[in-house]
Structure 1
Amino acid sequence: MNPHSVRDQLLYPHECFRALRHEQPVYNEQAKFWEVSTYEDVHLLVTDHELFSSDESKFTPASEAPALKSILNMDPPRHRQLRSLLSQAFTPRALAQLTPRITEITQELLDAVEKKGAMDIIDDLSYPLPIIVIAELLGVPIEDRPQFKHWSDEIVSGEYDELTGENRELVLERVRQRVRKTMDEINEYFRSIIAQRRQQPGEDIISALLAARVDGQELTEDELLGFCALLLIAGNITTTNLIGNALLCFDEHPEAMVQLQQRPQLLPSAIEEVLRYRSPVTILARFAASDFILKEQLIRRGQVVLGWSGSANHDPDHFVHPECFDITRSPNQHLSFGHGIHFCLGAPLARLEAKIALGMLLERFTRIRITHERDLEPVNSTFIYGAKHVPITFAVR
């Protein structure tokens, strides 16, 4: 996909998505990978795990194994077995137990900025909140959170403003090497934590996974490391950008913020609309499990197929007036958390954190406005959608 302006595309991609849906709904990028952009095709991609595999190791040499080995790149039956273990941390009962702590953290973060009348939603709220929560769940030192932020940024960022012309493959290779280096650092960190938990188990997810058995067998070290890295990275990126994107939406549509302050019971519906309108994750990847035809295009076994969930969420064939930001929209079957067996495991936690954080923000502060003294800088990533910083001013109620 060739953007008109990479910077504009990253923050305002919908014109590009509209062109893809209309002109090239099944698009081949220089014979390297396929892109699908309609709701129907993206839904098929993430739902039919027999047609579209998540297991890269089936189609690539062992030397090119994925940097992150987790349930994200597994197929059944192993995926089902491991997902059932981790899902216990995100049951309604488990989330109910987390609610007081998430509320306490949010209160402390807002207390720290209240007298200033200004804050950066990302730096002061939507980044530290999920990082603290996931660090406590994993049982790792919260003071290491600057390192967690660095690792997360390294995983999702890229040199995408250079992804045109003859240097494309060189740029992609640099990105791959940086991601692998970052994953090596993350794995080294968690190997040390895992070794500590083997000696001194605690009340945390890592200790629970060490004690878990699947068909009588312990989890392998690679599986343990995959869980830890996935929780650390995915556990903060989605919430960080969901809350930041909510402020972008409310700033563009101030009537929605007024409506929420008058009717806070609409907040869950508003969060779903933010997820649809400005999805924190805009792209999902699979591998063709066999040769097949999609909209008259032959897709070969092993080829990468990318589904633009951000585009699917604006498909007028599925959503009425998709370009309208409507916090009362119902139904709202967006694909921002995927669908099917790989539906985002942490979606309930991300929704809970966003509900508490946004609810408290709107309850405590009024006249909330983004300061536009400088242009917002997008997260430099092809699959994460949001702004690096969202500075706001506010008045205390």
Structure 2
Amino acid sequence: MADIVERYDIPVQHFWLHGPRSGRPVEHDPAAGLWNVYGHPEAHDVFGDPATFSSDTMRVIPKEMLPSNDEFSLEGFITQIDPPEHGKLRKLVSAAFTRKVVADLEPRIAALTHELLDAARERGRLELVTDLAYPLPVIVIAELLGVPSSDRPLFKQWADALFQRDGKISLAEQSEDRAAEMRAVMKPWGEMTAYLAGHAAERRRRPRADLLTKLVEAEVDGDHLPDEQVVNFAIVLLLAGHVTTTMLLGNTVLCLDAFPEQQEKVRADRAGVPAVIEESLRFLTPFAAISRATTRETELGGVTIPADQVIMLWLGAANRDPRQFPDPAVFDPGRDPNPHLGFGRGIHFCLGAPLARLEGRVALNVLLDRFGELRTDPEDPVRFIPTPTMTGVRRLSLK
């Protein structure tokens, strides 16, 4: 694995890619004021017990570390809500990602992939992220929501500002730099909220056949969703609906470049494409860490964690736990079973996982059809997203 780290200059923040971990699967980091979970069975236990490991982390984060501006808040987001309210809200969005709805998108995804690659060919080069991995899922999710896909430069600007930061994760450290970082987050968050609130208000006046209209018209226990909740859902779908697929597609191509024998194998037998995508999700986990908060004192991985503590689940490390995955540093699409946690698990399993898998499968097949080899350009080095909680390339040029 060291060769891959050196070859692609993988940032040191992505510690789980720099060799096997030593130490306990659960460790306290008093300097950061949180607990880190690195093990696969331990992460599995956390996902399976939402009563003890709550998604509502905002309640335990020190108030002085949160922005004072009301424009930035995760309160009411489905990713921050626990049962039973979570189940009611999830049903509303699940209807938009039924098996049929997703399957019906396949021809559109294939057509878009060809269009984007044709445009890149006319420019004489292919930078995978800018030319395909970013615009493809953005256009798909924008069309589903009913917002203009031509606004995708805005979406990228917001996503970059919110996700692509390289700061250290700490709840104990307070500094002017951290305060400045939070202020920097507030601006794009406010812009995105205002943008989607405007579209939601327009749907109340003039409904359309799109997902945003379905959210505006949705009811929970007989009541329509408040405007704030509609906007919250739209933000989650717009951001998570493209960021995951962008990283997944770039990571999968990178894996096939790093392991050419696997590229030859899947090129010869396309039935192996889904397994390649699943192993990519394990090998280079897009959302490499998520957080939870304990509601009571509990034991996990042989240590006792008090109530009201923030837990960081390092999914990137859990997906390389040798107790679950033999030879975890080897990219092996033949793993069976492959119980990776790339899309989470349990009640918060990624709503858009079927769509991300479909986009990945269709786009990878088209790339294999149109390129004799998928090889990175040594004259334009691969660049990774620097933030430690995400594993993905932000630039990947192909020869």
2:163 is matched with: 156
Q: Partner of 2:307: helix, strand, or coil?
A: coil
Among 133, 151, 156, the alignment partner of 1:144 is: 151
Deviates further, 94-103 or 193-202? 94-103
CA contact (8 A) 1:130 1:239 kept: yes
Determine what percentage of the aligned residue pairs are the same residue: 37
- Alpha-carbon distance in structure 2 between the residues aligned to 1:246 and 1:260: 12
Query: Displacement of 1:184 after TM fit?
Result: 1.2
Which among 158, 183, 196 is matched to residue 202 of structure 2? 196
TM, length-normalised to structure 1: 0.91
- The corresponding residue for 2:47 is 46
Distance 1:320 1:26 in 2: 23
Partner of 2:92: 85
Matches within 5 A, 1:289-308: 289-308=295-314
Are positions 1:8 and 2:11 aligned together? Answer: yes
> Which one of 102, 109, 113 corresponds to residue 109 of structure 2?
102
Where does structure 1 differ by over 6 angstroms across 4 or more consecutive aligned residues? none
SS of the residue 2:372 aligns to:
strand
Q: CA deviation at 1:47?
A: 2.0
**Contact in 2 for aligned 1:197/1:207 (Cα 8 Å):** yes
Any conservation in 1 of the 2:57–2:310 contact (CA below 8 Å)?
Answer: no
Name which of 354, 367, 382 aligns with 1:348: 354
Say whether 1:331 aligns with 2:337.
yes
Conserved 8 A contact 1:10-1:385: no
- For 1:55 and 1:11, the matched residues in 2 are separated by 25
Normalising to structure 2: TM-score of the pair? 0.90
Secondary structure of 1:306 counterpart: strand
Amino acid at match of 2:371: F
What corresponds to 1:30 in structure 2? Answer: 31
Q: In structure 2, how many angstroms separate the alpha carbons of the residues matched to 1:143 and 1:364?
A: 26
Post-superposition offset of 1:62: 7.7
Correspondence for 2:136:
129
Q: Distance in 2 between matches of 1:12 and 1:114?
A: 36
Output aligned runs, 1:1-397, within 5 Å: 8-10=11-13, 13-15=16-18, 18-19=20-21, 21-23=22-24, 25-30=26-31, 32-59=33-60, 64=66, 67-68=73-74, 69-114=76-121, 118-160=125-167, 169-393=175-399
Read off the aligned partner of 1:347 and give its amino acid letter. Answer: A
After superposition, the Cα gap between the structure-2 partners of 1:279 and 1:163, relative to the gap in structure 1 and judged at 3 Å, is closer
| CA gap 1:360/1:58 in 2 versus in 1, 3 angstroms | same
- For structure 2, the 5+ residue unaligned runs are none
Gaps of 5+ in 1: none
Cα deviations across residues 268-310 of structure 1 (Å, max 9, x unaligned)? 0110000000111100110011122334533222211001000
Q: Residue 209 of structure 2 aligns to a residue in which SS?
A: coil
Cα distance between partner residues in 2 of 1:292 and 1:235:
34
The separation in 2 between residues aligned to 1:42 and 1:71, in whole angstroms, is: 20
| Residues 11 and 378 in structure 1, CA contact (< 8 A), matched pair in contact too | no
Deviations 1:51-88 (A, max 9, x none): 10011354457884873341100001111001011011
* 8 A Cα contact 1:26 1:294, kept in partner: no
SS in 2 for 1:334: coil
1:42 Cα deviation (Å)? 1.3
Separation (CA, whole Å) in 2 of partners of 1:111 and 1:122: 15
Distance of aligned partners of 1:306 and 1:346 in 2 relative to their CA distance in 1, 3 Å threshold: same
Displacement of 1:265 after TM fit?
A: 0.7
Bigger mean CA offset, 55-64 vs 289-298: 55-64
Note the alpha carbon deviations across 1:196-235, whole angstroms, 9 max, x for none: 1111100111101111111100111221111010011111
Q: Which amino acid aligns with 1:353?
A: E
State the AA in 2 paired with 1:36: V
Report the aligned-residue RMSD: 2.4
TM-fit CA distance, 1:236 = 0.7
1:24 positional shift: 6.2
Write out per-residue CA displacement over residues 24-45 of structure 1, whole angstroms, 9 at most, x where no aligned residue.
6323241511111010111122
For 1:120, the aligned partner's letter is E
Residue type at the aligned position of 1:52: F
* Alpha-carbon contact 1:37-1:309 (below 8 Å) kept: yes
State the AA in 2 paired with 1:71: I
Which sits farther off after the overlay, 264-273 or 116-125? 116-125
Q: Which moved more, 1:232-241 or 1:323-332?
A: 323-332
Matched residue type, 2:149: I
With 195-204 and 65-74 compared, the bigger mean Cα shift is at 65-74
Which amino acid is the alignment partner of residue 156 of structure 1?
A: F
SS in 2 for 1:26: strand
Measured against aligned partners, the alpha-carbon deviations of 1:334-377 in whole angstroms (never above 9, x if no partner) come to: 00100000000001000000001011000121122101224422
**CA distance change for structure 1 residues 265 and 330 in 2, over 3 Å: closer, same or farther?**
same
